[in-house]
Structure 1
Amino acid sequence: MPLQEVILHLLRIFLLVNSVEVPLKEVPLREQLLEYLFRDYQNYEIPGAFNKTTTVVTVYMTITEITSVDVRMMDYTTYLLLRQEWQDPRLAWNNIPRFRNYTKNLVSPKLKDKLWLPDLFFRNGKEGRIHRMTMPNYLTRISPDGNILYSQKMTMRFSCQMDLKTFPMDAQTCHINMGSYGYSLKELRFVWRPVQPIELSDGMQIAEFNSPESVVAQDCNAFSTDENSSCLNATFVLSRQLGSWFSSVYITNFLIVMASWHSFWVDIEAQPARVALGLLTLLGLITQASGISQNLPRVSYIKAIDVWNIACIIFNVSVLIEFAVASNMQCTKTRRPERWRLNAREALRAEVEGWCIGCRRAFLQRQQNVSDSNSGFVSVDLETALIQAIYPDIESRSNLLPNDILQPKVRFNNTDLTVDIHDAIVLGIDEEMEDRNYDDDDDGDDDDSNFANGAKDSGAMTEAGKRVEPESAGGEKKTKNKRRVSRIDIYSRLLFPLCFFVYNCCYWSYYLILVKKK
């Protein structure tokens, strides 16, 4: 046999053996299956178009974590596993005799680009991303009966319209709304899985909120651009924890308001101390309220935290108003003796001037006698005539004895005070009056007639008929005024805490009992 024929014969045997072994291998069968399934497959055609039926996509998800709830932006961020299942008869091979014995699922990330995928989107989603550590976190699985599973792990930020009227004792109802972006309800329909459509991870913790106890899954209908489309909705409730806000806001404000009440124990005369205490506590309340408002959205209604802050500020301002009223009463009572002091000073001044004129006349008469005896020249007639013209009643004083002229006195009926005219002349009227504390027993009447008519009851009259109030009456009145101011502070020590306690009862009863029931 020629050598060429031998080589050709061996080559035929080799090819025959290889052609028999290839179908027996599993990997080539899978490749043949993939090639067979996607030979005429069009990924832009919906599966229902093959038999003219509505494609039903079953959706279920697992919420692994809710990382944050932003009250100011009114949204929340969550990690979730989204799974979608649907039937595509074009990809079923369990009825094909050639591949009937191949019962394994086809799993490969590369299948994602070859398959038709539902156009599910989140209606209330703000932004999201697919996790890519260490590989893109999505799964595509095809079963022998044509059932397709598409799973994704993603981070989504959803909007949540919050009602903050009861903040920070609020409970927010948030949603996850999904639907078809382009297909009508007749072409594509999303449904929840009948059993546990939404699962929550165990031990999930949310800052400032209690973990939702359950999630309600509902089918909803929404409208897209022109046709009715399918949608799904998941609803859960986030209840805010009051502990952090109670310790950082409510207790702090309560202590600041209590600190402002310390001004009731400070002396009314210590005005800088009381004003500084009131302003510092007021500044603390305003600063804290401003910091809270910066972290909250600007809404058109008032919140529970605003009601609390406003009430605390009102209580603090009321402390300042109480001090202003008490201080004003004290100043008013101290000014009334000053008005009487002016009247007494004028009366004493007139008396002193009268005695001084009498003394001057006697002196001039003695000088005239001396001049007549010496030179016979009279130099005081003009001055004497001038004095008589200014003081026509001087004649009544010219008959006084020398002792009466030199030592006149203003005597008081109760003998508590005697003003020596000689001291008043030498020391001055103002100095003489400053050494004595006069007060006003008149309740705010400024007329001189009332001052003169009050001489019948108590006090003293000068020898010229003027009334002078004794010191003891003024001292008693001044002590009485201080007792009145002290009573205002004493009443405030009881009234302010009582009002604040009543306000707290009403506040917490309304927001924790009535609102929670609603």
Structure 2
Amino acid sequence: MLLRYPNLILILILILIIPVQTEEFKFRIENVKYQRPGSIRSKRDTFVRRESGVAQNVTHLLNDVLNNYDQHFRPGFKSGKPTKVYIDLFIRTMGPVADLAYTYSFNCYFRQKWTDDRLHFNNSGIGFRQLSLSMAMLDKIWKPDTYFWNGAGSYVHGITTPNRLVRLETDGTILYSSRITVKAKCQMDMSRYPLDKQACRLIIGSYAYSSDEVQYKWRIMGEDNGVKIDYESIADLPQFSLSGFKVYEAANLTRDKEYSALEVRFYFDRHFGYFLMNFYVPCALVVLLCWVAFFTKREATAERIGIGITNVLTIVLISLDSKSDSPKVDSPTALEVYIWICYLTHLICMVEFTVVHYHTKYNTGDPEIQEVERERLRQIIKQIPKNTNNRSYPSFKRRNAAQPVSITRSLPNKTTRFMSVRHPKKSEQFESIQLMRKISHMETTNTNVIENEVESSLNLESIRQENVGWRLYYWMIDHNIKTDPFGVAQNSISRIDKISVVVAPLIFILTIALYYDFYVNRQFKFHFDNDFRNF
């Protein structure tokens, strides 16, 4: 129906188009009105247009540079000269140093710099002498295949974006920097653990290009010969402290060919305070406790053996605790040698206890029997009248004798006692000796038999008849002894104990001095596989 009226269709189209054009015309007028000359909007638009123009120039420049560029060939391939790559490290953090896994790690800025003549450009159109490129540009140019010969799991940081940058200078020099964490193997000598020092090295080189194709050099920046360390950030390094480092110039390492490589060695000193307070001091105190037994009564066999066994078990516990944190090596470490020194010291003390105990039993007999004998002797001494002023015997007259008689007995606390008395007849001398022999042989009989025999023979009347008690009484008066003539209340000290108290500490101190001189004062020498010289 509308086709019959073409004029009507034309009118409707005009009605719809005219308002839209009017609105667009108004919008253009408003823009012209507010964009006065010198306004901020006009300056911004001018800057954007200029920036877009520079970007277009840089884009065209890079496209021209990459025209006929082959990234599979290294710089200087046609001339046959090796490409020189300059390396420098800026270490931000160090550690941990894992002595159980023989590895160490650190965080650094790893920079590589080389010159590619094919990438030189003219900066007259852009005004920049250096261009920051994207990672897409890095994938289009040649870069060295640098890797760590002794690496064990290094990675590039990628939070929030990959931490890498590429800068291109007008002469074709490229700076490639990345923030990485390096984890490398470290050949450690644990023979002096925990008094050791370690030297961990990092070897940097090319994976595929031989020394005829790519050569590595340290990049010297001021006083830093290729390596710079932020010492404030690594001050809290656990277990170790970084004492210094040393860089080595390029050298050739042989794998299937000769490859150019760089080396830096980091020197670490282990912290000794933890081991001193948890292993060395406790072991020394246990040894001192073992020496306390030298001052113990030698008849106290159970106490001495108890102290020795307790000390040995304590040393075993400390030894097991030390093995849980120490590295598993074939040769003994310094800590294990120290613990074995303490073991041997305890063994010597136990042997000394055995020798003293053997001689004590041989001379004095069983301590229980001796205790019965001591009690009976105390009763004898108590029954002697203390208020007698003359030396007349109650049961017979005093007689003169020509020779003294020595009466001896075996005592638990003294070796031998001599009592010199004058006896007129051999019969009385024989009877008194027989009585003293009965007293001295009490240790070899049964306790019940001893008590019955003592009750029947060791009474006041028998003492007066046999003349033993009075001889003891007058002997005490002559020697001005008031109590305990046989030393039953005194502690017995073996001559071996007296010698051991002085000799044992001296031997232990001398051994520790030799130990310190061997493990601490001796100079450290580091040995590496495939070690090469500093050129």
Q: TM-score, normalised by structure 2?
A: 0.64
Contact 1:106/1:143 (<8 A) preserved:
no
User: For 1:517 and 1:110, how far apart are their aligned partners in 2?
Assistant: 48
User: What displacement does 1:318 show?
Assistant: 1.7
1:110 aligns with 2:129: no
Out of 108, 112, 115, the position equivalent to 1:84 is 112
| Equivalent in 35, 40, 58 of residue 68 of structure 2 | 40
The separation in 1 between residues aligned to 2:98 and 2:314, in whole angstroms, is 26
- What's the CA shift string for 1:403-439, capped at 9, x where partnerless? xxxxxx99724485698xxxxxxxx97664466999x
Asked if residue 247 in structure 1 is aligned to residue 277 in structure 2, the reply is yes
How far is the alpha carbon of 1:53 from its aligned partner? 2.3
Aligned CA distance change for structure 1 residues 430 and 292 (closer, same or farther; 3 Å): closer
Show the counterpart of 2:497: 489
CA distance in 2: counterparts of 1:256 and 1:492, whole angstroms = 17
Match of 2:146 in 1: 120
Aligned equivalents of 2:456 and 2:146: distance in 1? 97
Matches within 5 A, 1:75-224: 75-94=103-122, 99=125, 101-195=127-221, 196=224, 197-203=226-232, 204-205=234-235, 206-224=237-255
Change (3 A) 1:501 1:144: same
Distance 1:332 1:255 in 2: 33
Query: 383, 391, 412: which is aligned to 2:431?
Result: 412
CA contact (8 A) 1:330 1:485 kept: no
Matched with 1:455 is none
Compute the displacement of 1:503 (Å).
Answer: 1.8
Q: Is this contact kept in 1: 2:111–2:178, CA < 8 A?
A: yes
Question: 1:230–1:434: structure 2 CA closer, same or farther, 3 Å change rule?
Answer: farther
Query: Normalising by the residue count of structure 1, what TM-score does the alignment of the two structures yield?
Result: 0.66
Distance (whole Å) between structure 2 residues aligned to residue 479 and residue 189 of structure 1: 91
Partner residue in 2 for 1:406: none
Q: Is the partner of 2:299 in helix, strand or coil?
A: coil
Deviations 1:84-114 (A, max 9, x none): 00111111113x87x5755341332332222
* 1:154 Cα offset (Å): 1.0
Structure 1 counterpart of 2:34: none
Tell me the distance in 1 between the aligned counterparts of 2:457 and 2:509.
45
Displacement of 1:198 in angstroms is 0.6
> Which structure 2 residues correspond to residues 95-494 of structure 1 after superposition, within 5 A?
99=125, 101-195=127-221, 196=224, 197-203=226-232, 204-205=234-235, 206-225=237-256, 227-335=257-365, 412-414=431-433, 416=435, 432-433=452-453, 486-494=494-502
Query: Distance between the aligned counterparts of 1:418 and 1:268, measured in 2?
Result: 25
Distance in 1, Cα, partners of 2:145 & 2:302: 72
The number of equivalent residue pairs is 384
Task: Give distance in 1, aligned partners of 2:119 and 2:166.
Answer: 13
Task: Give me the whole-angstrom Cα distance separating, in 1, the residues matched to 2:308 and 2:437.
Answer: 47
Q: How does 1:51-90 map to 2 (within 5 A)?
A: 51-90=79-118
Distance in structure 2 (CA, Å) of the matches to 1:497 and 1:315: 10
Shift of 1:153: 1.0
Identity %: 25
Deviations 1:183-228 (A, max 9, x none): 1111111111134201111322222222233332332211122x21
Q: State the alpha-carbon separation in 2 of the partners of residues 418 and 289 from structure 1.
A: 54
**Structure 1 residues 120, 24: closer, same or farther in 2, change over 3 A?**
closer
Tell me the distance in 1 between the aligned counterparts of 2:51 and 2:229.
Answer: 47
Aligned-partner Cα distance in 2 for 1:190–1:67: 26
State the 1:22 CA deviation: 9.2
Q: Which residue of structure 1 aligns with residue 56 of structure 2?
A: 28
| Structure 2 unmatched ranges of 5 or more | 1-48, 369-427, 439-447, 459-471, 474-483, 527-535
For 2:59, what is the secondary structure of its paired residue? helix
